Structure 1
Amino acid sequence: MPAQGRLILITGATGAIGGELARRYAAADTELVLHGRRLEVLEALAQECQAKGASVSLSQVALDDDPAREAWLDALPRPPDLVLLCAGMNHGVTHARDGEDGVQARALLELNLRIPIDMARHLAPAMQARGSGQLVFISSLAAWFGLPVTPSYSASKAGIKAYGEALRGLLAADGVGVTVVMPGYVESSMARAMPGPKPFLVGPERAAKRIQAGVAANRARVSFPWPLALGTQCLALLPACLSERLVRWSGYGVEP
């Protein structure tokens, strides 16, 4: 690979979206830095990407270990041209009186919100100094209106949406792009584990194609599928009492 080929970092590469994005970006002039928790999946993905001509390096560093994570980022050969922060988790509740598990909720907020914010803050200065680069955050259509079945997940996705939108305005003058991805349900083990209906379910290949196109255009927001994107955005605009009724009617309420 040429010494200055495109360097792309992807966290959550062993997930449905992250893995498909790695396959789509794999090319002879690209160096992929893939992070994931499942080594066997990560190694198989690396072989697929290498078969397409990409240079691939792997990492399983604990993202919640701040010194280790920062040392990993500092050891990169140069600032990435594109960073796709796809690592995430979810959990939900089905009974109102059960509430959320506090340990799980804290871990979710760490991985979905604090860690991508910290990674962006760590990587952005070098991109600004170079005058180019792009950061991509994975939010969710659940960011528009908090779902009773996924309180902390909804909060984390609303938070990363707001952060990404703010960061885009902050970095634009230095030539650094920021895109917030707001998918609906993407076929995956994570989606299957979420409580509630899964309307307009999208395959990971289609999701990755939409994301790649939006990132290439440096769009501020990439939302899909459009019927669900329109519906969830309307929930944020309607009076809260009406939105709450619509959410319960749609099957996202919890048992008393």
Structure 2
Amino acid sequence: MRRVARPPARILITGASGAIGAALAQAYAAKGVHLVLHGRRFEALEALAEACRTHGATVELSSIELTDDEALHAWLDDLTLPDLVIANAGQNHHAAQGELMEEWDATQRLLAINLHVPMAMAQRLAPRMAARGHGQLVFVSSLAAWHGLPLTPSYSASKAGIKAYAEALRGRLAPQGVGVSVVMPGYVSSPMCTAMPGPKPWELSPELAARRIVRGIARNRARISFPFPLNVGCWWLAVLPAGVSQRLLAWMGYGGES
């Protein structure tokens, strides 16, 4: 797959009021760059916009309800088509203490934002990028996509789903000049990371994670997965016999107890 050489001038980032999204916005902020930032926490979004403007970027903000297809489609249709779209908005949750299964309403909300929304965005934007002949779509997954974690089954499923979708879409859109990458980070310091159960080895700062993501996007890499030791370990969980992987996860503290 050829490298995308055209530097992005218009960049859309969802989940920009979160740790990774905010770090990505500041990493891209520069003179000549227009940022479209979406987030649920509008005060944090406004503060981020001011920080990005000090680096010369122009910024527009949105807090529309992403899981409302009608609102999402109207918003995307009204935008000047971005060069780069980073579908970063996401949630995590796990079963409550003493409960076997995760709460179903919360699971439905998680699947909507983690899987349905980025697919809906691609459905709306990819044809326009293909008609134009260039663009990049970036989907944020997780190293949990390699093998589901018993502590967070719904989260793991959503991230495995978006990984598979991005990999398939990459092959489909490559002939039209549209790049597609999937980002598979490990643990990145944030309130969501803190709330996740289980050990958090090789935890990275949002700024370091953003630098690795930006570098991978510039190279149009199919998978942007890090940190290396955790990526290798999670990959092995996917290729080892399932029984072995399950025993390893329990031994490392990722068993089914919540």
Deviation at 1:79, TM superposition (A): 1.1
Q: How does 1:1-256 map to 2 (within 5 A)?
A: 6-76=9-79, 78-93=80-95, 97-255=99-257
Deviations 1:165-218 (A, max 9, x none): 000000000100001000000000000000100000011000000000000000
| Aligned mates of 1:183, 1:160 — CA distance in 2 | 13
Measure, in 2, the Cα distance between the counterparts of 1:205 and 1:37.
21
Q: Which runs of 5+ in 1 are unaligned?
A: none
3-state SS in 1 of match to 2:167: helix
Contact 1:93 1:195 in 2 (8 A): no
Contact 1:9 1:33 in 2 (8 A): yes
Offset at residue 94 of structure 1 (A): 6.2
* Contact residue 139 and residue 161 of structure 1 kept, 8 A: yes
Structure 1 distance, partners of 2:17, 2:126, is 24
Secondary structure (helix, strand or coil) at the match of 2:102 reads: coil
CA contact (8 A) 1:14 1:41 kept: yes
* Identical columns (%): 61
Contact 2:151–2:257 (CA<8 Å) still a contact in 1?
no
TM-score, normalised relative to structure 1: 0.96
For residues 215-235 of structure 1, give each alpha carbon's deviation from its aligned partner in whole angstroms, at most 9, with x where no partner exists: 000000000000000000000
Q: Which moved more, 1:85-94 or 1:54-63?
A: 85-94
Gaps of 5+ in 2: 1-7
Q: Is the Cα–Cα contact under 8 Å of residues 184 and 224 in structure 2 kept in the other structure?
A: yes
Which SS does the other structure have where 2:13 is aligned?
strand
What is the letter of the counterpart of residue 69 of structure 1?
L
Backbone CA RMSD of aligned residues: 1.2
**Which residue identity does 2:227 align to in structure 1?**
P
User: For the residues of structure 1 that align with 2:53 and 2:47, how far apart are their CA atoms?
Assistant: 10
Q: Work out the number of aligned pairs and report it.
A: 251
Q: Distance in 2 between matches of 1:6 and 1:216?
A: 13
How far 1:151 sits from its partner (Å)?
Answer: 0.5
Structure 1 ranges of 4+ moved more than 4 A: 94-97
State how far apart, in whole Å, the 2-side matches of 1:104 and 1:80 are.
Answer: 31
Other structure's SS at 1:196 match: coil
Per the TM alignment, residue 92 of structure 1 is displaced from its structure 2 partner at its CA by 1.2
Change in 2 beyond 3 A, CA 1:95/1:240: farther
Counterpart Cα distance in 2 of 1:68 and 1:235:
39
CA distance in 1, matches of 2:156, 2:257: 18
- Looking at structure 1, the residues matched to 39 and 117 of structure 2 have their Cα atoms a distance apart, in angstroms, of 14
SS at match of 1:8: strand
Please tell me whether the aligned partners of residues 39 and 62 of structure 2 are also in contact (alpha carbons under 8 angstroms): yes
Structure 1 letter corresponding to 2:197: P
Q: CA deviation at 1:95?
A: 5.4
Q: Matched residues in 2 for 1:97 and 1:190: separation?
A: 20
